[in-house]
Structure 1
Amino acid sequence: MAGPSRKISAASARSHTRKKARGGSSFFHRGMLKTLSSVLFIGIIAWSYQAIQPPPAKICGSQDDPRVTAPRIKLKDGRHLAYLENGVPKETAKYKIVFIHGFDCCRYDIFSISPALIEELGIYLLSFDRAGYGESDPNPKMTEKSTALDIEELADQLGLGTQFFVIGFSMGGEIAWTTLKYIPHRLAGAAIVAPAFNYWWHGFPSNLTTEAYNLLFPQDKWALRVTHYAPWLTYWWNTQKWFPGSSLIYKRTDSLSPSDLKVSPKLASREKYRAEIRQQGEYVSLHRDLMLGFQCWEFSPLELDNPFPNNEGSVHLWHGVEDRIVPVMLSRYISQKLSWVHYHELPDAGHMFPVADGMSDAIVKALLLGNN
């Protein structure tokens, strides 16, 4: 027997239709939210990727990019290295020196050796733009070894002979250690002046590197941590606006000691070429320099052997006690561990002491004449 028939009222039918529509609408909204969330996530990833990508370098000599004004050599890997010659002609020079400039500097930033001393000793002084600075091509494969090899090739192409002296200042002083490691046979002597330090070099007591590291500005501690542990974020960290980047990039003046401030007027001439230093881009000059200085190195200066076991040359390390950019205690430790290094500690000097009257001459005399 057939069951009782059920009549559905018009109101019930409308209610059922509305519920079905609401269910479909809810499903549609959930789908839209999921889609929008996915699009937003992809957008954030894309934005983040773009934010950490440095702009392309403005290669000197390329179309619409900075023009070439300096003499340059072409290296074996195709890069160009710009240089500047000073002093007496190299053909008649008794002493030939290659100068390695510091961070945010270029070939013009050399020690001001007095003309009288240059003539008296017969000094030829060669400086160059390190990779990415000034008019030297960037080196995307730059390592602690590559600059030493650039120096060797530069010396060979310019005919400096089998041996020459090197002087490195600040970040250039850090790189001077690499010449003692990779091209010691080409050196007649080395002066390492107010050198930067890689706080991750092995062989230093952890309490000592921690003490030195803690003397840095908080912004520099973070900048160096990022550079060392996440080098691919170096460009972003030093260009974003939420946190301060490296104080050296932004020229924080309270990093200078009273003695530095006293000699700073002598640096006024840098304004003539300051724009040229970073002209190919801050990433290929400053940021890559930070990455070079504070990445994991293959060696530590403490592992170096005496390059002059028969006293045929000498290595001199100079540092000012009042240096607020590079703490002095790490240079002290090196001098204690490497007995063959002639250490010169200046009690009232800051980072810029080579600019003070007579200091460049004193550094050069010690290097060339073996004065302790």
Structure 2
Amino acid sequence: MDRIKLRDGGFLAYKETGVPKDEANYKIILIHGFGSSKEMNFSASKELIEELGVYFLPDRAGYGDSDPNPKRSLESEALDIEELAYKLQLGPKFYLIGVSMGSYPTWSCLKHIPHSQKLFPSNTSVLESNQLYFSSNDIEVLKRIIGFPMLTKNKLRERNVFDTLRDDFLAGFGQWDFDPADVSISGESLVHIWHGNEDKVVPFQLHRCISKKLPWIKYHEIPQGGHLIVHYDGICDAVLRALLLGEDQKMYQSEPDSSKIELSCVNVCDSIS
């Protein structure tokens, strides 16, 4: 097990996958979602990983082998990522891929450590297998993936697991210290957001609205995509090609009618206000 010691004395665990760091052309920190861990599977093809020389460093405080942080906040998540990158000597440029609840630390990095280069929010599951939350394609995915070990009945009875999930939920859905619509980035950096248009956990209209307000966001909408798109065949390859190579993934570009976007934004804002 590999861990680094953080500024507050706690330890953050991580796992290196892909190619060795000194051979990597691109360095990516993968930020997992709710109830997951550094063991989550990012389903990019082995061939593409080897072709691009991708190197992953996934983990978050309080999950897996990392120490919990009872003072978890948006800023602490960003600072943990910054410290991880510094202590592992990732160099002046690295990438972030945030999955589901891992997206709020990614947004926090945009605000609190904007020099972290390109950032990449995405989506996957945060809840148990339930047709109320998952599309038909998601249900098929759930038949072949391991699942979410922290969300089992036995694990949820453990106090440290409960505390980690509670603190993560409160940080993600509590009062943020900034408005995403006010975030700005410099240079030619580009943020990508991928979202399934049949996502039953997070309304896709929310990201349509955000991407319309922030021109530096490249929005990719997955037809018939649910909340588990990170596990769909070919999606992770498309994610890496768009993020690292700038390839235009036309089959995942959303070009909805602008009047419908405005209506969707109003509906979403009304529902969350």
* Superposition TM-score, scaled by structure 1 size: 0.62
SS at match of 1:98: strand
Unpaired runs of at least 5, structure 2: 249-273
- Decide whether the 8 Å contact of 2:181 with 2:214 is kept in 1: yes
For residues 72 and 226 of structure 2, the distance between their equivalents in structure 1, rounded to whole angstroms, comes to 30
Which residue of structure 2 lines up, in the alignment, with residue 287 of structure 1?
166
Give 1:254's aligned residue: 132
- Contact in 1 for aligned 2:155/2:161 (Cα 8 Å): no
Partner Cα distance (1:276, 1:102) in 2: 20
| Map 1:206-217 → 2, pairs under 5 A | none
User: 1:301-356 CA deviation, whole Å, 9 max, x = no partner?
Assistant: 1111024x2x2x32101111100011111100001000110010112100001101
CA distance in structure 2 between the aligned counterparts of 1:124 and 1:371, rounded to whole angstroms: 20
User: How far is 1:190 from its partner?
Assistant: 1.6
Indicate how the Cα distance of structure 1 residues 272 and 306 shifts in structure 2: closer, same or farther if over 3 A, else same.
closer
Superposed CA deviations along residues 169-227 of structure 1, whole A, max 9, x for unmatched, are 1000122111111111122x12111389xxxxxxxxxxxxxxxxxxxxxxxxxxxxxxx
Query: Which one of 294, 297, 303 corresponds to residue 176 of structure 2?
Result: 297
Which residue identity is paired with 2:146? A
Could you tell me which residue of structure 1 aligns to residue 219 of structure 2? 343
The CA deviation string for residues 243-280 of structure 1, in whole angstroms up to 9 with x for no partner, is xxxx93x6544311111112222313766997998666
Paired AA for residue 191 in structure 1: F
* C-alpha contact (below 8 Å) 1:97/1:165 kept by paired residues: yes
Distance 1:166 1:160 in 2: 12
In the alignment, which residue of structure 1 is the partner of 2:17?
86
Shift of 1:110: 3.7
**Alignment partner of 2:7 out of 62, 76, 79:** 76
2:122 alignment counterpart: 193
Query: Does the CA-based 8 Å contact 1:134-1:280 persist in structure 2?
Result: no
* Structure 1 residue runs without a partner (length 5+): 1-69, 197-246
Partners in 1 of 2:223 and 2:237 — Cα distance?
18
Query: Does the CA-based 8 Å contact 1:81-1:135 persist in structure 2?
Result: yes
Structure 2 CA distance for partners of 1:252 and 1:263, relative to 1, 3 Å: closer
In structure 2, relative to structure 1, the CA distance for the partners of 1:159 and 1:360 (3 Å cut) is: same
Change beyond 3 A, Cα 1:179–1:262: same
Q: 1:162 to 1:287 in 2, by over 3 A?
A: same
Task: Note if contact 1:192-1:316 (Cα within 8 Å) is conserved in structure 2.
Answer: yes
Would you say 1:98 and 2:37 are equivalent positions?
A: no
Say which of 245, 258, 263 aligns to 2:141: 263
Query: CA 1:276 to 1:146, structure 2 compared with 1: closer, same or farther past 3 Å?
Result: farther
Q: Structure 2: how far apart are the matches of 1:366 and 1:343?
A: 11
Aligned to 1:366: 242
- Provide closer, same or farther for how the CA distance between residues 289 and 251 of structure 1 changes in structure 2, counting only shifts above 3 A: farther
Q: Is the 8 A contact 2:124 2:230 kept in 1?
A: no
Distance change >3 Å, CA 148–CA 276, structure 1 → 2: farther
Look up the match of 1:213: none
Distance 2:235 2:124 in 1: 16
Mapped pair 1:171 → 2:101 = yes
| RMSD (Å), alpha carbons | 2.4
CA deviation after TM superposition for structure 1 residue 288, in Å:
0.8
Q: Name the aligned partner's letter for residue 222 of structure 2.
A: L
Report how many aligned residue pairs link the two structures.
247
2:71 paired residue number: 141
Match of 2:269 in 1: none
Question: What TM-score do you get using the length of structure 2 for normalisation?
Answer: 0.84
Q: Among all aligned residue pairs of Structure 1 and Structure 2, give the percentage whose two residues are the same amino acid.
A: 45
CA distance in 2, matches of 1:251, 1:195: 12
Structure 1 residue runs of 4+, over 4 Å off?
269-280
